[in-house]
A and B are shown apart, each in its own frame.
Chain A
Amino acid sequence: MNSVMIGQYIPIDSWLHRLDPRSKCIFVFCMLILIFFANNVETYTLLLLVGLMGVALSRISVLLFLRSMKLIIWMILFTTLFHLIFTQSGSIVLQTPILTIYEEGVRQAAIISVRFILLMIFASLLMFTTSPIDLTDGLESLLSPLRRWRFPAHEFAMMMSIALRFIPTLWAETDKIIKAQKARGADFESGNVYRRVKAYIPVLIPLMISSFRRAEDLATAMEARGYAGGVGRTKLRVLSIRRADILLLVCFAIVATALFWMRK
């Protein structure tokens, strides 16, 4: 099956893996915001160092992080090019008959690229070191205060975990339908993009129909097992904030203070 799924959980043991998913979520979320406050070489260097420290602490191969960068390489190239061509202030760096590159353009391009890379590092850190179940549990717990404003935190987490549960099932089914359609002479490999996309319609429709049937079966099975929403439910999995989690949040506070002190 597809082992190169985006941001897939890497089940090994490390300091980051053992942290509570809630503290990791908060840390990463705050880091992502912090990235937008960095505005000079010092602050970006600081954030990059924090990111690299995280990579080291996760004990996950750097190659995997690089592979996740592949997803955003086109976005980086596009925005870089965009800034090089269209930003026209500061002194001229390079002048050719077709285009002129200004200093501000280079600066903006560099900033955007570093931001993208930082975003990807922190997001990958969270996804690589947190199992999907822990992630949904963590989100449910973090979002539960919003229940006061009628936000369906439990239902949201339940939906997410069911979706995760059915990804492999639906994937296997897609595979089966493709084979069945091929056996009936369907052609998925030739023709232009439009034709190839169109060839997948006879795969998607049976898949959708069977998904609805599955959803109905599952709802019946859940009801038969006494499911009646989040009220009065207990949980097998417990989350616990330990010393390491507090340490992580203290680290964030230090980084944030340092960043605001260093920025212009």
Chain B
Amino acid sequence: MKHIKSLIELSGVWFDYHPDRQMKEQWALQDINLTIQSGEYVVVMGPNGSGKSTFARLLNGLLIPTEGEVRVGDFSTSNGLGRFHIRRKVGMVFQNPDNQIVATTVRDDVAFGLENLGIPREEMIPRIERALEVVGLVGFENREPAHLSGGQKQRLAIAGVLAMNPEIIVFDESTSMLDPQGREEVRELMKELHQQGQTVIHITHSAQEAFLAERVIVIAHHRLQLDYPSRDLYNQSNLLEQWGLEVPLPIRVRALLKNQGVELNEPIGNSDEMVAQIWRYLSKT
């Protein structure tokens, strides 16, 4: 008997850009099995060239698995009609803020996806307004994209995706090209969307961002290596290091202290929390 129906299901997925030219052991993605439920906040991490961006592109049918199947809801990406429905369900925000804005004004760009779906104009207008409201770009409707900051451009890209009412939003390294402020804006928005019940999948190489999510998946050497609730990863930060990922300082300190017999209980998010806990520990003893 099946429990809740999973939203995304990858079963036995193998993929390569040139499957006929490569040995199977060298394919870009190998034997991925995974399910993601509705409302989850998942981070997919991996070193450069590990296949994590390829993974992202498999989720909405931009790439089709060479073997195996990716299913989103009731549809499979291997099927042309299925892909059309899946594109509507799975929104994607890419890395380069400049290269994903199509139209000459903010309003027209948010409309782009809706126009593609054939949404009637009367319905488009409130949807555009709402999407711009969520990302905080109200008042920028007639701005040209060239006159936006990096963070604003990325928020515009998110608005374009949100207007299409997706069930899942995939962020493919969407914070990596932004300045610290823009990065913070986008992270904050991701958190908000998740709290509103949106399924968020964030592909990143920043371990710091990984601990913002609920579930961490590590892809390295073209395979799925780890799939843990982020809470459990606190105790096993060495697992991340093993795959060549940098572990955030508070978590490293916590692990080192543990080796010294100093046990800090609660999961630590940032360095302030870490300092507070060390003080608490010291005052107890």
Contacts and interface: CB of A to CB of B under 8 A. Distances in A.
B101 interface: yes
Contacts of A222: 102, 112
Contact of B104 (A164, A172, A232): A164
B124 interface: yes
Contact of A133 (B84, B100, B104): B104
Contact of B108 (A169, A226, A237): A237
Chain A, interface SS category = helix
B96 A226 contact: no
Contacts of B101: 165
A234 interface: yes
Nearest to A222: B102
A233 to B, nearest CB: 5
Interface stretch (A138-146, A200-208, A213-221, A245-253): A213-221
A225 B111 contact: no
Contacts of A233: 115-116, 118
A193 interface: no
Given A217-B100, A220-B62, A226-B116, A234 B144 contact: no
A243 to B, nearest CB: 23
Interface in B80-135: 84, 87-88, 91-92, 94, 96, 98-105, 107-108, 111-121, 124-125, 128
A221 B124 contact: no
A4 interface: no
A152 to B, nearest CB: 17
B121 A218 contact: no
A56 interface: no
Nearest to B146: A168
B104 A225 contact: no
Interface in B159-201: 160-161, 164
B94 A225 contact: no
Contact of B121 (A162, A226, A234): A234
Contact of B102 (A162, A228, A232, A237): A162
A162 B145 CA distance: 12
Chain A interface residue count: which class?
20 to 34
Interface in A170-225: 172, 213-214, 217-218, 220-225
Nearest to A162: B102
Contacts of A164: 104
Contacts of B87: 223-226
Given A161-B103, A169-B98, A169-B146, A225 B161 contact: yes
A169 B148 CA distance: 11
A89 B147 CA distance: 59
B104 A218 contact: no
A225 B113 contact: yes
B84 to A, nearest CB: 7
A214 B102 CA distance: 11
Nearest to B157: A221
Given A172-B146, A226-B84, A236-B121, A221 B115 contact: no
Contacts of B107: 236
Given A225-B160, A236-B107, A218 B115 contact: no
Contacts of B117: 226
A238 B121 CA distance: 9
Contact of B144 (A162, A168, A224, A238): A168
A164 B60 CA distance: 29
Interface of A: 132-133, 161-162, 164-165, 168-169, 172, 213-214, 217-218, 220-228, 232-238
22 contacts: A133-B108, A161-B103, A164-B104, A165-B102, A165-B145, A217-B94, A218-B99, A221-B94, A221-B102, A222-B102, A224-B60, A225-B91, A225-B113, A226-B164, A227-B116, A233-B115, A234-B120, A235-B115, A235-B121, A236-B111, A236-B121, A236-B128
Interface of B: 57, 60, 62, 84, 87-88, 91-92, 94, 96, 98-105, 107-108, 111-121, 124-125, 128, 144-146, 157, 160-161, 164
